[in-house]
Amino acid sequence: MNPIANVTPPPLPADLRSPGSANAGNGKGEGGFLGNLKDAIQQVQQMQTSAHSQVEGVLNGSGGDLNTAMIAVEKADLAFQFMMQVRNKIVQAYQDVSQMSF
């Protein structure tokens, strides 16, 4: 049996390459998990703001489309529910780690 040769693993993302590269993430001085979490929260907030403005457009009669507004509201709702599930998993992981005895 011949050994497998020339197999290289895929490259790691920049924020996982070395412990000193934690500031190489999103250009704001934060990288890794915290930077990604903040970006996701900002995206959810932008979706909620967009949905709110589209609903206001429909209610004011300023040219807003009801279908587009409803889709934006549902997207914002799903994104918020997803973020709440992520939050719950983070809290559960913290509780599990804090209950460990060393």
pLDDT for residue 18: 47
Distance CA 50, CA 43 (A): 10
Structural domains of the chain, count = 1
Per the domain annotation, does 10 fall within a domain? no
| 64 Cβ contact list (under 8 Å, min separation 6) | 54, 55, 56, 57, 58
Q: Give the torsion sign (CA, 34, 35, 41, 44).
A: negative
pLDDT in tens, 12-21: 556 555 454 4
pLDDT in tens, 36-77: 989 999 999 999 999 999 999 999 988 778 999 999 999 999
pLDDT in tens, 77-87: 999 999 999 99
pLDDT for residue 21: 45
Q: Report pTM.
A: 0.63
Q: Please give the residue range of the domain that contains residue 39.
A: 31-93
